[in-house]
Amino acid sequence: MFERLIAYLDSVKARDPAPRSRWEVLTYPGVWAVFYHRIAHWLFEAELFFLARLVNHWSRWLTAIDIHPGAKIGKNLFIDHGFSVIGETAEIGDNVTIYQCVTLGGTNPTNGKRGKRHPTVEDNVIIGSGAQIIGPITVGERGRVGANAVVMDDVPAGASMVGLKARSTLVPAEEWIKEFIPYGTPNCEDAEGNRIDCIEKLEAELKSLRAEVETLRAEREPARRSGTED
């Protein structure tokens, strides 16, 4: 058990440059939220639902992270900061990273999955801050959900989801094979895989739009003056 704890703390430290030691990791609310969930889930599986809820309520008060006792969580879940919600039928694989203010929320199951109304998150997934993953969908292995994305459809393995409603952008192999990408947000790339500086692209589009506006103004100015003189 002690070795498992050390391995877990090391896995968190490997994904977060802030802590200087394992002791510092032990102060993280996400670590305590997972610890209390292990207890609550054990009570839930034993059908001691009220006691499971009590542990869950205490954990939520202490950590600002709400994990339903029924949720199934694999090894080395890292919830960075807090204010996240994980629903009852959610399933989380191994080595998943969740940043702050994430919701694994539920919907009324209408796709034939009886009782399943929350997402399934497979191994090595990274979910950016503020992301909302809704319904009995699957986020494939090494999938990435960008900050503030809203995901309501299955995410292919190795894909990144961005936007409202989220759309898929394939992750190149050289990015996919990396062990970990902070915040689940790869660099902006076009369809051919060429790297693009997003800010420069937006600035170029803005410059083009401004030029078009100035051209339209120049074309309309003689007509306006002619109308005034008449």
**Mean pLDDT calculated for residue range 132-152:** 94
Residue ranges of domains in the chain: 2-187, 197-230
Residue 172's pLDDT is 59
Residue 89 · residue 133 · CB < 8 Å: no
Of 38-47, 165-174, 188-197, 208-217, highest mean pLDDT: 38-47
Residue 194's pLDDT is 45
Residue 54's pLDDT is 97
> What is the tens place of the pLDDT at every residue in 79-91?
999 899 999 999 9
Protein fold of 2-187: UDP N-Acetylglucosamine Acyltransferase; domain 1 (2.160.10)
For strand 167-170 and strand 159-162, is the pairing parallel, antiparallel, or unpaired? antiparallel
Residue 191's pLDDT is 40
> What is the tens place of the pLDDT at every residue in 48-67?
999 999 999 999 999 999 99
Residues near 158 by Cβ (< 8 Å), separated by ≥ 6?
140, 141, 142, 143, 170, 171, 176
Residues near 19 by Cβ (< 8 Å), separated by ≥ 6?
12, 13, 25, 28
**Mean pLDDT calculated for residue range 158-184:** 68
Give the confidence band of 190 by pLDDT, cuts at 50, 70, 90: very low
Residue 132's pLDDT is 95
- Three-class SS of 168-217: EEECCHHHHCCCCCHHHCCCCECCCCCECCHHHHHHHHHHHHHHHHHHHH
Residue 199 · residue 185 · CB < 8 Å: no
For residue 60, the tally of other CB atoms under 10 A from its CB is 16
Residues near 190 by Cβ (< 8 Å), separated by ≥ 6?
196
Residue 105 · residue 85 · CB < 8 Å: yes
Give the residue, 174 or 214, on which the prediction is more confident.
214
Its pTM stands at 0.72
For the chain, helix (H) and strand (E) counts, in that order, are: 6, 15
Across 39-53, 104-118, 174-188, 205-219, least confident range: 174-188
Residue 193 has pLDDT above 60, yes or no: no
